[in-house]
Amino acid sequence: MTEQHATCPPYPWEPFNPIRAWTAFWGLVGDRDDTRYVFAFFRAVNGRSMGHIVSRFANSDFGRSQIEDRTRFADVMLDRKTLESYGRGTFAAAYLHYLDSENLNPLGVHEAAVENAPELYAQLEAEYPEFASMTYTLHLAHDLHHVLTGYGRDPLGEALLLTFNGNQNGTRGSRLLGMFAGLRIRSEIWQWPVGRMMANARRMARESQDLVTTDLTKYLHLPLAEARARLNLVPDPLYREVRDAWTGPEPVSAKA
């Protein structure tokens, strides 16, 4: 099925399916490292909610440049020699440290998505080039978002980043998965002020620059604090305090 708005390219969507979403969520609770459940959850709940984000991306200067040639964005992120040349304390240095400390590949999120649904992504490339380019770009930007927001890959950090992204870009899947993961974490560790941290993530999403339409690679050479300031991103100190003080077991809830 496709949807067409005056300023929105056609994009694929599926009817909202709460049963599939609930099954996918509990699959993630059982194995939070299995990204198949993340993508299954998004496909089950996103529905028509992607229209606004597709429109914003496709009608922005950055989006149009990505639709025309998405390789430049990826090439910058894969050029480790240049990123290292920016020096200590930069956004690039923080990004490389994040990748190395988590043993991540810059293309990992996108590769996992394609591996989980190769026929779908082949269809996107053939029939929905604008949507395919947006999806590819957001997949690559996911780790940049972690660095900029200060949210880690721990279950709490992932839930908060989902909340941030879902509230900023308007995608129902990220917003709901973040909320469900937050509620699950709150049920496991009652001492954590999860509600306050979720509210802080929503506030940061409202106040920051639109990351969907922003070429984040243009900020990599800057000191991390300056890059955050230019994007009006202020990491939540409460999240950092909670994480630094916690010595107990990690919650088993979902991550993306």
Average pLDDT of the residues in 208-227 = 97
Q: What is the pTM of this model?
A: 0.89
In this structure, are residues 61 and 212 in contact, taking their beta carbons and an 8 Å threshold?
no
Mean pLDDT of 189-216: 96
The token duo for 49 is 């909610």
pLDDT tens track for 122-139: 988 999 999 999 999 999
What is the spatial distance between Cα 161 and Cα 198, in angstroms, rounded to a whole number? 9
Could you tell me which of 76, 84, 39, 81 has the C-alpha nearest to residue 174?
A: 39
The pLDDT score that the predictor gives to residue 253 is 58
**Alpha carbon distance 212, 227 (integer Å):** 16
Backbone angles phi, psi at 44, to 5 degrees: -75, -25
> Following CA atoms 69, 118, 96, 221 in sequence, which dihedral angle do they give, to the nearest 10 degrees?
20
pLDDT greater than 70 at residue 222: yes
State pLDDT tens for residues 70-129. Answer: 999 999 999 999 999 999 999 999 999 999 999 999 999 999 889 888 888 898 899 999
Q: What is the pLDDT of residues 141-153, one digit of tens each?
A: 999 999 999 999 9
Distance in angstroms (rounded) separating the CA atoms of residues 142 and 36: 16
Label residue 18 by pLDDT band (50, 70, 90). confident
120 membership: H or E segment, kind and range: helix 118-127
Pairwise CA distance, residues 209 & 195, whole Å: 23
Q: Is the pLDDT of residue 214 over 70?
A: yes
pLDDT at residue 35, rounded to an integer: 77
* Average pLDDT rounded to a whole number, residues 2-25: 74
Q: What is the pLDDT of residue 141?
A: 96
